[in-house]
Amino acid sequence: MEENEKLKSTQRSNQALIYGKSATFWQGKESYLDVIYKYLDIHGTVDNSILIPRYVINHDSIKGTDVQTLLRQSKVFVGLSFPYEGPAPLEALANGCVFLNPRLKPPHSSLNTEFFKGKPTIREPTTAAANSVCPSWILCSTAVSDPTRR
């Protein structure tokens, strides 16, 4: 099947795709993911599946069209609060996913976050990825059907 036909014929499932290619992004996020897993199957494209929860269906590193297919199959695209920025949340929205991302309290800055130390910035993101990519009001613009049904 041609790539465009494959994307158009994709059916949405009760699943979430996690935004985090590196297994290190997943560390310390199990309780957050456990709550999401109560309602949705969880898929990832992670480089090292040893460090992620057992219930995650890992697709390893895959090409862009396969990511687009996963996004079209998913209802929710889930951020892990890092990476801070990237085009992936916009790609998810364009493919019909809700983007869910934890708030950063307190906001991260060079005063309290190793990532920003020594960088010429005074930014204080309150949420990762969406902070400068798209406004927060757009992140909840797509309705999700009954989340209690698996």
Whole-number average pLDDT of the chain: 79
Note the pLDDT of residue 31: 92
Euclidean distance between CA atoms 79 and 138, whole angstroms: 15
Note the pLDDT of residue 38: 96
Note the pLDDT of residue 125: 67
CA 105 to each of CA 34, 102, 127: distance values in angstroms, whole numbers, following the listed order: 21, 9, 9
Tokens of 96: 């019909």
Please name each of the domains of the chain with its CATH number. Answer: 3-140 (3.40.50)
Report pLDDT digits (tens) over 17-69. 998 888 888 888 899 999 999 999 999 998 877 889 999 999 988 888 899 99
Note the pLDDT of residue 14: 95
Tokens of 82: 């890092």
**Are 136 and 79 a contacting pair, CB within 8 Å?**
no
pTM of the predicted model, to two decimals?
Answer: 0.75
Report pLDDT digits (tens) over 68-81. 999 999 999 998 87
Question: What pairs with residue 98 in β-bridges?
Answer: 76
What confidence category does residue 131 fall into, taking pLDDT thresholds of 50, 70 and 90?
A: very low
Tokens of 111: 């005063």
Q: List, in sequence order, every beta strand (DSSP E) within the chain.
A: 15-19, 41-44, 57-58, 76-79, 98-100
